[in-house]
Amino acid sequence: MCKQASPRLLPASRKAPPASGRVEIQVRDRIYDITDFVKRHPGGSVIAYYANQDATDAYVAFHQRSPRADKILKSLPSRPADKPMEKSERAQQMLADYRKLRSDLVAEGWFKPDLAHVAFRIVEIISMFVVSFVLLKAGTWWSVLLSMFIGGLAGGRSGWIQHEGGHHSLTGIIPVDKAIQTIFISFGLITYGWKWNHMHNKHHATPQKEDHDLDVDTLPFVAFYKDALERGRRAAMTPTWWIRYQHLTFLPLTSVLNVFFWHFYLHPKEYILRKGRRDPVTLLFVILRYVAHFYSCPSDWSILMCLSTFYMTMFVSGVYLFGNFSLNHTHLPTTRADEHKNWVEYGIDYTINVDPNPFVNWWMGYLNCQVEHHLFPSMPQYRQPQLVPRIRQFCEDHGLTYQSLDYITAVKATLGNLKNVAEYAVEREMDGSKKAK
């Protein structure tokens, strides 16, 4: 598996007095100086997203099952928290109630994994891949089409299960969950678990935050919000002729471009080329996927035909994944890069559910309960549909809006938002042309 370099542990007795220029976070009742630790943080720069803020809930959510994280935290220079970093009394009460709710849920067993459920999902994906390879071997036009569809779904569903592995919410045993993630993300999606986690944790830390959440920091491929065209990173290299049709190209073209960008460049430069991040296990399962596909192709096929069917299968996976993950937040408002929200506000105000039912739960890999998932990312996701009533009540008690749409309405909202941004891009270019004259 991918091995992360162990950070140097600092003496537990070392203190960090308040001083300008320091980067600090609050975790529970202590203030920790992370000025020197940011670059050594095993999870990357995401720790700096909560600089000089209360990071208690983010820390607990990301590290619930990691004694090693607690050991590292205790080794950092720290001092007692004289006063909370969260200044709003309303927010302090909301966070206190959230922490009590979380403690109650832990005591009630909501975070306890179900190994039978995990086994079923693993067997389901393996069975889908086997069926797709058998159909491919048959070589008829209808069996090949069905093979690419089923194989594409298997790849997409590999994405759902590797995602849970990255959150350590499958078995609750971190090395086992990481192993499951590595196998399914590399074989199913030809990508790298460490890189996925590195990107995805930034989304969880600050969903819908400009220049922070990589799920919406997507230029030049797609613009999910209007201000991305004004102040987003890479805005200058984003052509209007591309954005103006993004609501039409998002599923059949843009989602696939992203998948292939990850496949051919972003991820292999880490697991093959980057010193300290090279991962031979990931490379092995990537190769095995190619071998399994080529072995299943009829013997009279050309290499071009074999590659074409492979990448059409990946096309289905890309449309399936991007078409579903985008429903849960991309059409919501964003926060500016210099704005700060707390963990509960991020989870409730900047994510939206797709109404749960047995089919939608299965189709979306339980990520339709996005509010619950963002509040409790290490909770097994299959439990979250049953948690919806309690989170609705929590929102009502604190004057928050619990957001949820049916599947079709969520699709319309996502594509409608892309269309609105596209129209804005065209108007913006026309206004610029008029001013130039």
What was the pLDDT predicted at 45? Answer: 87
Spell out the domains of the chain, with CATH numbers in brackets. Answer: 1-83 (3.10.120.10), 115-328 (no CATH)
Do the Cβ atoms of 224 and 421 come closer than 8 Å?
Answer: yes
User: Which SS3 state, helix, strand or coil, does residue 28 take?
Assistant: coil
What was the pLDDT predicted at 437? Answer: 56
Do the Cβ atoms of 434 and 427 come closer than 8 Å?
Answer: no
What was the pLDDT predicted at 19? Answer: 45
Alpha carbon dihedral 200, 203, 206, 212, in 10-degree steps, equals: 100
Give the C-alpha separation, 411 to 398, whole Å: 29
Query: Which residue, 164, 118, 172, 104, is CA-closest to 391?
Result: 104
Quote the strand ranges of 64-135, DSSP E: 78-80
Q: Which two tokens stand for residue 54?
A: 């209360």
With helix as H, strand as E and coil as C, how does 130-152 read?
HHHHHHHHHCCHHHHHHHHHHHH
Do the Cβ atoms of 378 and 169 come closer than 8 Å?
Answer: yes
Quote the strand ranges of 28-119, DSSP E: 30-33, 78-80
- 121-to-18, 104, 160, 323, 324 alpha-carbon distances in Å: 50, 28, 10, 21, 18
User: Which SS3 state, helix, strand or coil, does residue 15 take?
Assistant: strand
Ranges of residues in the chain whose predicted pLDDT is under 70: 1-20, 432-437
Name the residue with tokens 């690419």.
Answer: 148
Q: Which two tokens stand for residue 330?
A: 């991309």
Name the residue with tokens 């009829």.
Answer: 298
Name the residue with tokens 């720790």.
Answer: 47
Name the residue with tokens 């496949």.
Answer: 263
Query: What is the DSSP-derived secondary structure letter of residue 270?
Result: I
- 90-to-87, 95, 347, 399 alpha-carbon distances in Å: 9, 9, 17, 10
What was the pLDDT predicted at 8? Answer: 32
Q: Which two tokens stand for residue 226?
A: 């209007």
